[in-house]
Amino acid sequence: MRGFLIGTAIRERKRRGSEQAAVARLQLTSLIDIFTVLLLFLLKSVVVGGAVVSPFPGVALPPSTSTATFKESPVVVVTRSQVVVDGAAVCPTEDIVQSGELKVTALEQALGAVRQKTEALAERAGSARKFEGKLILQADETIPFHVLQKVMYTSQTVGFYDITLAVIQK
Amino acid sequence: MSLRSSKKKRGPALEPEELNLLPLMSLFVALVPALLYSAVFVPVAALGLDFPGTGGAATESPLALAVRLSDSTYAVEGVPDSAYTPIYRQTDPTAPLQALRAQLDDVHARYPTSGGAILVVSPQVPYRDVVQVMDQVREAGFGNSTLLGAQQ
């Protein structure tokens, strides 16, 4: 009789335990609060229309009052030490500073490859994405103008006539 | 008797029903990465410019307005019947830029239909200073600038 009672009590405890586990729910209210704040913050910083351009690490872009947006284009970055085309280092900036020529051969080759790639993609995709000669130029604010002049001249020799400067909004 | 009546009044226990927040969570989990992808924390803007020989406002404008940007001065040139005095640049660019803006505003008031200006920039002028002058030209109502390198 005593053993039967003990067995019943254990079964009852197990049953109650399983019932509690079945109704347990996550408290999501605080997490929803966090997500709501995060969502509002992100909505404030989201870019609607135009391409998203982030400053290249180590480049201090000049401030400007311009508020125009970008179109999707290849990016040329001129840092104090390197010239970078679409994320790949092309040549040291010092070489351009020292050069007496307007055309920068290494940059010309890199941009030529970018153009070929864009044109090949355009061929595959039909007329939807043809080469438009657009280029975004990110340059450090301390770079002398003659360096930029050489970069822009070289870009134009490859067919990138529509150059847009990237600046930090004041 | 009284015990029986109290038992009758007591019904099933009413617990506040919890909202099912899982669909909302799923929505947030999908939205947050999408917004993170297109969010910009450093606002980068585009600044358009023209080049000689590729069209642009300065090429088509009846007024051949030029702003010469040298290591030491800003000079407004190309305005008929008037000569603007060169503005000497200083360490703090605020006052010289204001003076340049006043000259550009004056030109725009006299030639309101003109658009575009040619910036003739000396080789050693930092890129930041070029952008500052381009801002002044645009804000004065001339639109995009055409960049031109000055002879050394």
Classify residue B95: in a domain, yes or no. Answer: yes
Please indicate, yes or no, whether residues A73 and A156 belong to a single structural domain of this protein. Answer: yes
Tokens (6 digits) for B22 = 């899982």
Q: Dump pLDDT digits (tens) for A13-44.
A: 555 555 555 666 677 888 889 999 988 988 88
DSSP label at B17? Answer: P
| Contact assessment for residue B65 and residue B113, using Cβ atoms and an 8 Å cutoff | no
Contacts 24+ apart (CB under 8 A), A9-14: none
Classify residue B108: in a domain, yes or no. Answer: yes
Site from A44, A59, A66 to mutate, B interface, most B CB atoms within 10 angstroms = A66
Domain that holds residue B142: 49-149
**Residue A135: which pLDDT band, with cuts at 50, 70 and 90?**
very high
**Residue A107: which pLDDT band, with cuts at 50, 70 and 90?**
very high
Q: Dump pLDDT digits (tens) for B78-135.
A: 888 778 888 998 888 889 999 999 999 998 888 888 888 889 999 999 999 999 999 9
Percent of chain A with pLDDT over 70: 81
Classify residue A56: in a domain, yes or no. Answer: no
**Domains: count for chain B:** 1
- Give the pLDDT of residue A11: 66
| 8 Å CB contact of B38 and A164 | no
Please indicate, yes or no, whether residues A92 and A129 belong to a single structural domain of this protein. Answer: yes
ipTM at complex level: 0.74
Of the candidates B21, B35, B122, the beta carbon closest to that of A46 is on B35
Contact list in B for residue A55 (CB cut-off 8 A) is 42, 44
Of the candidates B32, B49, B122, the beta carbon closest to that of A42 is on B32
Q: Dump pLDDT digits (tens) for B37-92.
A: 877 777 888 888 887 766 665 556 677 888 999 999 999 988 887 788 889 988 88
Evaluate if pTM is beyond 0.80: no
Classify residue A54: in a domain, yes or no. Answer: no
Of the candidates A39, A143, A167, the beta carbon closest to that of B126 is on A143
| 8 Å CB contact of B124 and A144 | yes
Cα-atom radius of gyration of chain A, to the nearest Å? Answer: 30
